[in-house]
Every structure is written in structure tokens, then in C-alpha cells.
């Protein structure tokens, strides 16, 4: 049985215990040949950053020299070793799991993580350091002092350090949305984070630290450190390193075969998994292949191997926690109406144009470009293309789209005094799926529209009603929800298609129309217009083959459901 390394980020364990591994070791040689010694590399959560740090640790650490063939022999770098293999003392630090509830707890957490990494380093290379030197290093009470003592002791040896930092910004990203002054204090000229990286910079100048590789999610902390550590090169947007982390299409297909997907089932499985986990681009260079989130693909593979079907919950519980990040990021800056405008645009499937912010500064206003860029770095948006040199951003896949709809639904609850309970929404969706009864669900939409109609920035139209409807449909995972926009014919279509492994009795095609209250006399014309559009919609080849497809015309007048009609598609096939 193929062993899936879901959640496993120790390279030696993966190799020695025979776990499935997608070889990216060629990038070790590429990085080493660059001439850039101090590198930052940012990627969203669960994109393999911790595993990559482990790979570098095992490749460059002196202590793994005798295990080189065992660990790397089967992979690219094992057949073509670079000059620096197993040439360093590797100091690896990480800064997750820090309690950021107060300034004191954040500082203590940063110090504790620093001491933990340094103590591991000293245990690994214990024969090189005297007992008195170890005691002196570990008794320091400031993170920068711990490093100063360590670098001083290492400077007396004929050895150099490869400095690895994983999740360098984890604690800081949590502070930005709700305690920005604390973040600014920590990275200011006298802040402990700034002093920490100034100590590393000094050690590179002295030759004690020869190479640096720092990973994280966002450049916020990096940009705040430019005067403290201004020698690093950020390769995150470099097209040559776009694929250093993440899975390509053919790699996911091989993974699916390895866990038992039959050749005749592969196209359907790949279509399903691609909708949910594919779509990431980290460069504006043309013709860049979109990448799958590797952790999500492994989650799917592990479940499929055990149960021979897709998981019921394609939204991994580890991913669900990112919903809070969307909420926090939208609160960093901007007026409510501006934030809602961006959210609506994204959920409507329309590209959002923004200049990529490469250096953030909280000494100036936090603009729309900054918000879009930050969502991109966090993996909540991706590059969909460029227009006249300006990057275009969109939602990468269904997993992330679902998170945005969760946020939108939370906003609906915030805006109205009495919103539908999840159990009521689920029952309404089940009535639709099982009995072809859309009335309960549309009744909830109408009630919500009435609740939020007093918001002066609400612009009622087909698109807005559809956003509310889809946000309720996403409470369950019964359907694959697909929007159709054809501006020439003004379609605002909505497809609800069966999603494995749920054998829903029906699939649906909706056509939504909207009239202002004062335009109610035009209702017959709007109904006929909707019938014509839905009939044209149903003639599409894509829909002709859909079994048990029910077609509904829905017309709202203001917040009220003015017309609901099932359209017979038998004469259209």
C-alpha cells in the first residue's frame, strides 16, 4: 500500500518509512547556484514549507553526511550533489505556536522558540561546544542575546552556520489584524524582532552565518525588517521557483493512480480534485502552470485510498480555520463598503485588478492594492493573468471559494437582526435536493434581503441575490456550484451539479432575474425574458447530458419572490 505523508514534514521519516515523495531536490542545486546566500521564500499554509526546511537541514547538516546516499540517493540531488552538501552546522528555528494574547506572552513565546531551536543545535553538535559555552548561551534572557552568544562561540570553530527559519511571520500575522500597535512595536528600531535579525545580519558579515533560508506566508514582517536585515533576496515571485513547492497536474494524477484510482476513473477524479485544490500561480510570467495545494491533494489521496471514493468533506478541517484569517484580513483597513465591494467582485467570479504590493508599510494608509496583495500571499487569492501589465487576481479553487462564502454568510448575520439558523438552511437545501422544492430556500433568501435592505450600500440585482443564495447552498457540501456569466446574452445562470460521493436525486439550473419594486408592471416581460434565456441556457451541450436536471426561473421584485417557475426541458433536448 502506498503510504501517504499527510501531515508529515520530517524528510528522514518520509524516506526511511517509505512514504510517497514528490521530488523537488533539483531546486537545492538551483538555489545554491544563484549566488544569493540569504533567501526569503513565501508560500501559503500547507504548501510544504516545513518539509522543505527539513530537506535543507538533512542535505546541508554535517551530522547527516554518512546518511547522504540513504536519504538522497534515489532523488535528483543524490545523483548530482552540489558542492555544499553536508558542509554546515544547521541552526533551524521556527516561530509557530506562540501565544500572542499580550506583549509579554508574545515576547516570551519568541524567546522560548529561539531557545528550543538553539538547544537542539547545541545537542546535535555537542562535541564542538564546551559545557561553559552552552550554559552561557542558554542563560540569556533576550532572543538576540541568545544568538549573539551562539555566534560568538561558533566563530571560534572552523565551521559555518546554515541558518534556517520556518514560519518566521506566524506570530506576527496574528497580530496585524487586531493588535497592530504591538506588531509595529516588535519590528520597530528598538523592537526585539528587529534586534534579532540585526544580530543575524552581523553574523553574516563576520562569516559565521554563511547561508540563510527563511520561509513564511506574508511579507509583512519581512518588509518591516528591511533596515534590520536588508541583505536578503525574496524569490517568492520568481518564475524560476514557481514550482519549488506545490504539485503539478501530472504529479497529482500519478498520486491518484498510486492510491488505487483506476485508469477509466481518473478523468472524473482529476476533474473533481482539480476544482477543489488546483489553481495557484505565484508569478505573472505567461504560461505558468497552475499548482495544486499539496497538503490538500494528500488529504484527498489518503481518504480515497482507504474508502475508494472522494471524501464527503472536501474542505479539510485544517483548512477551515483559514476562514478566520479572511475575516481578520478584511478588517485590517478600508471602509466597510469598500471591503464588501471587493468581496462581491471576487464571489461573482470577476477578476480584481491590483498592483502587487511588494513592500508593506503601516506608516501609510492600507489601500485596496495592499488588501488584495495580502490575500494573495496568504493563498486566499491567486494570479489569474495580467492586463496592460497589471496583475489580475481571483479565487483559486472551490476550497477557498467556500471560505469566502462562509465569511459572506457571517457578514449577513452581522447585518441583520434575525438570520436563518444553519439547521434551517440545511433543511431547505435538502428539500431542494431531495424533493425538487426550492421554495423554502428562496424564502430564506427573501427574508435575508428584507433584513439587510436598509444598508445604504446594498445594490440589489441578480448578482447580489445569487450571492446570498449560494452562501446558503455552501452550508452543505451536496453540490458542485458553478456560475455562468455570458455578458453578451446577460446570463446570470447557476448550476448545481452532483458532487461525489453524494448521489442527490436532482441537479439544477437556475436563472435569476430582478426587478425594482417600482418596475413591478414589467414583471410579465421579465418573466418572458428569463424563459428565453433559460431555454437557450438549457440547449448548451454541457447541459443536455445532465440527468435529472431541473430548471427553474426565479424572479425577485425588490426583496420579494415575485415569480417561481419550473421550465420543462424535455422539448429542448
The model's pTM is 0.89
Sheet with 233-234: strands ordered across: 89-94, 161-166, 209-216, 38-42, 233-234
For 110, 491, 498, the CA distances from 186, given in Å and listed in that order, are 11, 51, 50
> Mean pLDDT across the chain, nearest whole number?
87
Q: What is the pLDDT, as a whole number, of residue 458?
A: 62
DSSP 541: H
Spatial contact of 342 and 322, defined as CB atoms under 8 Å apart: no
More confident residue, 333 or 233: 233
Q: Is the pLDDT of residue 167 over 70?
A: yes
Extract the C-alpha cell encoding 299. Answer: 488529504
d(CA 376, CA 44): 9
Helix (H) or strand (E) holding 186, with range, is: helix 180-187
**Quick check: bond before 501 cis, omega within 30?**
yes
Q: Is the pLDDT of residue 453 over 90?
A: no
Confidence of residue 336 (pLDDT cuts 50, 70, 90): low
Spatial contact of 393 and 384, defined as CB atoms under 8 Å apart: yes
Instruction: Kindly report, residue by residue over 505-548, the tens digit of the pLDDT.
Output: 999 999 999 998 888 899 999 999 989 888 888 887 777 778 88
| Strand ranges inside 51-190, DSSP E | 89-94, 161-166
Confidence of residue 62 (pLDDT cuts 50, 70, 90): very high
Range with top average pLDDT, 33-47, 106-120, 332-346:
106-120
Domains of the chain: 11-241 (3.40.50), 249-318 (no CATH), 321-394 (no CATH), 416-572 (no CATH)
Instruction: Kindly report, residue by residue over 81-96, the tens digit of the pLDDT.
Output: 999 999 999 999 999 8
Please tell me whether residue 34 adopts helix, strand or coil conformation.
coil
Instruction: Kindly report, residue by residue over 363-374, the tens digit of the pLDDT.
Output: 677 788 888 998
Burial of 130 per CB tally in 10 Å (0-12, 13-18, 19+) = exposed
Confidence of residue 295 (pLDDT cuts 50, 70, 90): very high
Please tell me whether residue 162 adopts helix, strand or coil conformation.
strand
Across 41-50, 167-176, 218-227, 325-334, least confident range: 218-227
Q: What is the pLDDT, as a whole number, of residue 488?
A: 39
Rounded mean pLDDT of 321-347? 73
**What's the full length of the chain, in residues?**
573
Amino acid at each position: 500500500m502506498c503510504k501517504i505523508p499527510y501531515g508529515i514534514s520530517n524528510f528522514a521519516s518520509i524516506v526511511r518509512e517509505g512514504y510517497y515523495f514528490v521530488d523537488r531536490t533539483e531546486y537545492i542545486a538551483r538555489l545554491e547556484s544563484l549566488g544569493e546566500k540569504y533567501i526569503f521564500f513565501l508560500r501559503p499554509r500547507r504548501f510544504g514549507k516545513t518539509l522543505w526546511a527539513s530537506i535543507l537541514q538533512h542535505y546541508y547538516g554535517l551530522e547527516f553526511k554518512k546518511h547522504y546516499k540513504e536519504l538522497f540517493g534515489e532523488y535528483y540531488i543524490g545523483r548530482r550533489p552540489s558542492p555544499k552538501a553536508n558542509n554546515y552546522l544547521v541552526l533551524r528555528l521556527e516561530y509557530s505556536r506562540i501565544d500572542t494574547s499580550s506583549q509579554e506572552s508574545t515576547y516570551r513565546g519568541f524567546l522560548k522558540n529561539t531557545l528550543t531551536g538553539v538547544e537542539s543545535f547545541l545537542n546535535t553538535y555537542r562535541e564542538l561546544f564546551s559545557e561553559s559555552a552552552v550554559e552561557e548561551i542558554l542563560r540569556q534572557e533576550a532572543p538576540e542575546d541568545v544568538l549573539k552568544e551562539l555566534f560568538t562561540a561558533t566563530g571560534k570553530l572552523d565551521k559555518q552556520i546554515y541558518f534556517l527559519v520556518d514560519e518566521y511571520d506566524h506570530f506576527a500575522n496574528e497580530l496585524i489584524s487586531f493588535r497592530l500597535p504591538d506588531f509595529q512595536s516588535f519590528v520597530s528600531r528598538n523592537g526585539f524582532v528587529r534586534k534579532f535579525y540585526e544580530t543575524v545580519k552581523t553574523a553574516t558579515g563576520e562569516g559565521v552565518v554563511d547561508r540563510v533560508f527563511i520561509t513564511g506566508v506574508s511579507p509583512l514582517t519581512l518588509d518591516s525588517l528591511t533596515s534590520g536585515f536588508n541583505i536578503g533576496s525574496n524569490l517568492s515571485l520568481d518564475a524560476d521557483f514557481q514550482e519549488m513547492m506545490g504539485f503539478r497536474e501530472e504529479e497529482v494524477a500519478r498520486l491518484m493512480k498510486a492510491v488505487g484510482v483506476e485508469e477509466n476513473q481518473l478523468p472524473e477524479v482529476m476533474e473533481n480534485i482539480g476544482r477543489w485544490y488546483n489553481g495557484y500561480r505565484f508569478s505573472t510570467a505567461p504560461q505558468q502552470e497552475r499548482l495544486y495545494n499539496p497538503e490538500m491533494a494528500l488529504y484527498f489521496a489518503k481518504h480515497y485510498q482507504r474508502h475508494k471514493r472522494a471524501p464527503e468533506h472536501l474542505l479539510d478541517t485544517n483548512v477551515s480555520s483559514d476562514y478566520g484569517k479572511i475575516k481578520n484580513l478584511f478588517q485590517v483597513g478600508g471602509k466597510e463598503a469598500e471591503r464588501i465591494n471587493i468581496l462581491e467582485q471576487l464571489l461573482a467570479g470577476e477578476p480584481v485588478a491590483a498592483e502587487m504590493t511588494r513592500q508593506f508599510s503601516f506608516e501609510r494608509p492600507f489601500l485596496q492594492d495592499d488588501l488584495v496583495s495580502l490575500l494573495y500571499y496568504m493563498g486566499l487569492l491567486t494570479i489569474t493573468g495580467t492586463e496592460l501589465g497589471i496583475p489580475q487576481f481571483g479565487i483559486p479553487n472551490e476550497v477557498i471559494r467556500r471560505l469566502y462564502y462562509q465569511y459572506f454568510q457571517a457578514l449577513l448575520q452581522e447585518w441583520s437582526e434575525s438570520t436563518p439558523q444553519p439547521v434551517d438552511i440545511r433543511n431547505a437545501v435538502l428539500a431542494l435536493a431531495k424533493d425538487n422544492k426550492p421554495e423554502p430556500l428562496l424564502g430564506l433568501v427573501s427574508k435575508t434581503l428584507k433584513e439587510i435592505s436598509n444598508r445604504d450600500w446594498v445594490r440589489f440585482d441578480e448578482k447580489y441575490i445569487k450571492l446570498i443564495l449560494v452562501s446558503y447552498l455552501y452550508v452543505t457540501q451536496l453540490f458542485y456550484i458553478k456560475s455562468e456569466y455570458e455578458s453578451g446574452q446577460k446570463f446570470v445562470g447557476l448550476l448545481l451539479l452532483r458532487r461525489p460521493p453524494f448521489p442527490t436525486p436532482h441537479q439544477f439550473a437556475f436563472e435569476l432575474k430582478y426587478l425594482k419594486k417600482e418596475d413591478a408592471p414589467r414583471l410579465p416581460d421579465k418573466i418572458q425574458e428569463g424563459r428565453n434565456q433559460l431555454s437557450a441556457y438549457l440547449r448548451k451541450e454541457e447541459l443536455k447530458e445532465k440527468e435529472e436536471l431541473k430548471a427553474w426561473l426565479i424572479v425577485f421584485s425588490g426583496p420579494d419572490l415575485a415569480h417561481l417557475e419550473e421550465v420543462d426541458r424535455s422539448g429542448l433536448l
